Structure 1
Amino acid sequence: MKAALPAGTGVPMKRRLGVFDAVTIGLGSMIGAGVFAALAPAAGASGSGLPLALAVAAVVAYCNATSSARLAARYPASGGTYVYGRERLGPFWGYLAGWGFVIGKTASCAAMALTVGSYVWPGQAHAVAVAAVVVLTAVNYGGVQKSAWLTRSIVAIVLAVLAAVATVCLTASTAGSVRLDIGADTSAEGVLRAAALLFFAFAGYARIATLGEEVRDPARTIPRAIPLALGITLLVYAAVAVAVLAVLGPGRLADASAPLAEAVRAAGAPGLVPVVRIGAAVAALGSLLALILGVSRTTLAMARDGHLPRTLAAVHPRFRVPHRAELAVGAVVAVLAATTDVRAAIGFSSFAVLAYYAIANAAALTLTAAERRPPRIVPLVGLLGCAILALALPLTSVISGAAVLAVGAAGYGLRGAVTRA
């Protein structure tokens, strides 16, 4: 006999988000993370092969997006791959996906919060990061529609800043004041490692799928919103990456702590530097907002099944959001933001999220033609790509990520043993 759910867990979440809002939430997740956080370390790994690494990451992300979209249309519930893995592969694989997502994306939340702090007030980055987590948790608590409105404003600001950066850098490059420094500094291993780091930036489309219970007509909305958000993000990333690489070259880009600010300064537009700093902080806020949103929904789904404390499955009767899950996620992220380092979180998060999408692709392979299964080559390439990119990450990221997944698997086995006893 199942334990009774806490009061409020039976309250349905309201479907308020259309295609435009779902795309906006996906853009807020992806654009904020990649351009400002992953570009420099990716350039350090791949050198002038950065555009190629971006293309590899985009191919794997496209396969993952297609698999996720078909699964989300079939299972329009909060939880994303946690739900898909559970329904298509079995409870253990669903649990492992959810565990990897919650742990990995909680680390991403801390990284984005610290990015905000480093741009807004470098001397007090941790304090600003904690304050940002508190404020955005309160925004999410007030309802998903408020989050969508705020994300829409953030995306508009960030796109305007990135357009200005790309225009200034490309104009300077074509005018001959700078040149694209292409050298023999690219290796297959470096490109794959850079692609794995850049994948951290593309993973935001998962936020659309994890909001399955809050999207209108999810069978149509989610399959449209995911590829749209991914396509727009790829175009933005390609333009900015080429422009910044043209100005700084791979060496200077890899060493830059604030690469976009360095690029506009090198392109002869130092007046844009404060604008870029503001844009970076706003972009990171957008990522953090959407990340907290997605992690709390997966926490909700796992709590409903008893893999996390069932009290976290409560849905607020007025705001129709998983308020206890949001408060718990916010508290954990605030602690991490006060104590962790930004760069270390990127590789760890990438490994956990790649494992998450490997399970999504495996689940998509089990769909039938009647369930609108994607062409088999798509989830196969996605599954293989996730495995290759995960193993291409720095060794410390691979070891720590594998250890976290092993701890989750052990916890699942222990819980099962206790239940059977």
Structure 2
Amino acid sequence: MTEDGKPSLKRELGLFEVTLSGIGIILGAGIYALIGKAAGMAGNAVWISFGLAALIAVFTGLSYAELSSIFPRASAEHEYTRRAFGERLAFVVGWMIIFSGIIGAATVALAFGGYFEALTGLSILGSAIVLLLALSLVLLWGIKISAWFAIVFTLVETAGLLMVIYIGLPHLGSVDYLEMPGGFDGIFGAAALIFFAYMGFEEMVKLSEETRDPERNIPLALVVALATTIVLYMLVAVSVVSVVPWEALAASDAPFAEVAAEALGPEAFVVISAIALFATANTVLLMLLAASRIAYGMAESSAMPDFLARVHPKRRTPWTAIIVVMLLSMGFVFSGDIAFVASANDFILFSTFVVINASLIYLRYKDPDRPRPFRVPLRIGTLPILPMLGIVTSIFLIFHLDEGAVLLGSAIALVGGVFALVLRKKAGEV
């Protein structure tokens, strides 16, 4: 309960649950959905794109780890930005992060639909809508059952990636891994797109108010989850192009299933497709979870409408925020274009990462004596180096995204800016 007697979120998660939840949301976020599209841009050199995206994830992921150790709040990015730059920019960042989760859930729900269609022939859109509804019901039920769903799904999807790596082992060295049909522009474009596959580390911090000892467990879980997924991704990227030509991967709605079928026969197609269903469902679950938590956290801080802060008295879940996030995700599903929606989401993420890294740098100067249970390594004087690299690389990749997706992401940010101005004026600010 809060000080005023209202129900609050329940601290039920430990290091194990948060780490596996983090691995689960990162692994399913794009590797099953977008590796074919990325291979079409980068060719056999797609592993380089994964490596570049990993660097950016590390630069910014460490900033999240430090900030979450200082401010362990469900409102996460909103809280970090507010502490550094004030309410207006914080609102815009929080707004963008909410939509990042909403759009991300829609993107991966479409990927789920692609694999489900490959197995059953049923509609991609219909499958995606049903998935969003079913997983929202799980979230409404409680954080503990949501976490255990995520853990089981994570184990299944990790097994799928290990299977793909195993399938690729006998074929290693069979292709030119530096073949890049689109040149370096293709490599950078694929890195900008495939960064969606690393999306998830920033979602982990939204679990701070439902985690025991969050100052320690959230940063540690974030670092372990990110390191684990980078290793798996690099191995998978090399394996898939060793088995199936990059042209065939680019043309497939179920690229991993194509790899399995090519190496092991039609039966393997079914197995990998079934595993991909678990992987994509897991990511949708955790993105809906994260988006609803930051919406709840911002409402609790009076930065969003009060009704989003309502917590179910029995289930102890932010039920209104969950329902709103679900409905908005369903709306984005109807775009039907996975690569476009993912690119719009990446623009939102990269823009947010610029602000988050800048927040860490500013707070190092503004509040240097504040205890930091986790601190980003490497600095020149007071200036931390890795957050600076996070800003530069995020801006660089923005310029390699689809123009239409950038316009959509910019429109979402602009709407957030307008709301920030309106809400601040209502609150009596100039």
Q: Which residue number corresponds to residue 168 of structure 1?
A: 167
What does the per-residue CA deviation read over 1:150-194, in whole Å, with 9 as the maximum and x for residues that have no partner? 1111011111121112111222446xxx53464352533222211
Q: Which residue number corresponds to residue 137 of structure 1?
A: 136
Conserved? CA contact 1:116–1:284, under 8 Å: yes
Conserved? CA contact 2:106–2:330, under 8 Å: yes
* CA distance in structure 2 between the partners assigned to 1:392 and 1:8 by the alignment: 49
* CA distance in structure 1 between the partners assigned to 2:45 and 2:178 by the alignment: 8
Where has structure 1 moved over 4 Å in runs of 4 or more?
6-9
SS of alignment partner, residue 74 of structure 2: coil
Q: Which residue number corresponds to residue 313 of structure 1?
A: 309
Q: Which moved more, 1:228-237 or 1:262-271?
A: 262-271
Q: Which residue number corresponds to residue 380 of structure 1?
A: 388
2:62 to 57, 61, 66: 66
In the alignment, structure 1 residue 416 sits paired with structure 2 residue 412: no
Q: Which moved more, 1:52-61 or 1:126-135?
A: 126-135
* CA distance in structure 2 between the partners assigned to 1:155 and 1:283 by the alignment: 7
SS of alignment partner, residue 175 of structure 2: coil
Unaligned runs of 5+ in 2: 379-383
* CA distance in structure 2 between the partners assigned to 1:7 and 1:288 by the alignment: 33
- Give the TM-score normalised by the residue count of structure 1: 0.92
Q: Which moved more, 1:326-335 or 1:288-297?
A: 326-335
* CA distance in structure 1 between the partners assigned to 2:5 and 2:112 by the alignment: 34
Aligned residue runs from structure 1 range 45-124, under 5 A: 45-121=41-117, 122-124=121-123
In the alignment, structure 1 residue 38 sits paired with structure 2 residue 47: no
Q: Which residue number corresponds to residue 196 of structure 1?
A: 192
* CA distance in structure 2 between the partners assigned to 1:9 and 1:295 by the alignment: 25
* CA distance in structure 2 between the partners assigned to 1:344 and 1:365 by the alignment: 32
Amino acid at match of 1:417: K
Q: Which moved more, 1:111-120 or 1:345-354?
A: 111-120
> How many residues of Structure 1 are paired with residues of Structure 2 in the alignment?
413
* CA distance in structure 1 between the partners assigned to 2:361 and 2:194 by the alignment: 25
Conserved? CA contact 2:30–2:108, under 8 Å: no
Conserved? CA contact 1:132–1:285, under 8 Å: yes
Q: Which moved more, 1:249-258 or 1:132-141?
A: 249-258
In the alignment, structure 1 residue 396 sits paired with structure 2 residue 392: no
SS of alignment partner, residue 123 of structure 1: coil
What does the per-residue CA deviation read over 1:239-292, in whole Å, with 9 as the maximum and x for residues that have no partner? 111100112233332222221111122224332100111111111100000001
* CA distance in structure 2 between the partners assigned to 1:111 and 1:9 by the alignment: 38
* CA distance in structure 2 between the partners assigned to 1:256 and 1:7 by the alignment: 54
Change (3 A) 1:306 1:337: same
2:292 to 293, 296, 306: 296
Q: Which residue number corresponds to residue 259 of structure 1?
A: 255
Q: Which residue number corresponds to residue 3 of structure 1?
A: none
* CA distance in structure 2 between the partners assigned to 1:26 and 1:280 by the alignment: 17
1:225 to 221, 226, 231: 221
Amino acid at match of 1:166: I
SS of alignment partner, residue 399 of structure 1: helix
What does the per-residue CA deviation read over 1:305-324, in whole Å, with 9 as the maximum and x for residues that have no partner? 33432111112222222111
Q: Which residue number corresponds to residue 158 of structure 1?
A: 157
Conserved? CA contact 1:130–1:338, under 8 Å: no
Amino acid at match of 1:242: V
SS of alignment partner, residue 76 of structure 1: coil
* CA distance in structure 1 between the partners assigned to 2:313 and 2:68 by the alignment: 25
Amino acid at match of 1:386: S
Shift, 1:54, TM fit: 0.8
Q: Which residue number corresponds to residue 327 of structure 2?
A: 331
Shift, 1:336, TM fit: 3.2
Q: Which moved more, 1:349-358 or 1:301-310?
A: 301-310
What does the per-residue CA deviation read over 1:196-224, in whole Å, with 9 as the maximum and x for residues that have no partner? 11111112012210111011101110110
* CA distance in structure 2 between the partners assigned to 1:170 and 1:150 by the alignment: 31
Q: Which moved more, 1:192-201 or 1:289-298?
A: 192-201
Shift, 1:123, TM fit: 3.1
* CA distance in structure 2 between the partners assigned to 1:8 and 1:40 by the alignment: 52
Shift, 1:75, TM fit: 0.6
Amino acid at match of 1:171: P
In the alignment, structure 1 residue 362 sits paired with structure 2 residue 366: no
Q: Which residue number corresponds to residue 147 of structure 2?
A: 148
Q: Which residue number corresponds to residue 381 of structure 2?
A: none
1:281 to 277, 280, 286: 277
* CA distance in structure 1 between the partners assigned to 2:179 and 2:51 by the alignment: 19
Q: Which moved more, 1:302-311 or 1:161-170?
A: 302-311
Conserved? CA contact 1:8–1:315, under 8 Å: no
Conserved? CA contact 2:42–2:180, under 8 Å: no
* CA distance in structure 2 between the partners assigned to 1:382 and 1:181 by the alignment: 27
CA-based RMSD of the aligned residues comes to 2.1
Conserved? CA contact 2:340–2:402, under 8 Å: no
Conserved? CA contact 2:105–2:284, under 8 Å: yes
Shift, 1:389, TM fit: 1.1
Change (3 A) 1:243 1:48: same
* CA distance in structure 2 between the partners assigned to 1:272 and 1:340 by the alignment: 27
Shift, 1:8, TM fit: 8.9
1:352 to 333, 339, 348: 348
Change (3 A) 1:180 1:166: farther
In the alignment, structure 1 residue 341 sits paired with structure 2 residue 349: no
* CA distance in structure 2 between the partners assigned to 1:220 and 1:128 by the alignment: 39
1:244 to 240, 253, 266: 240
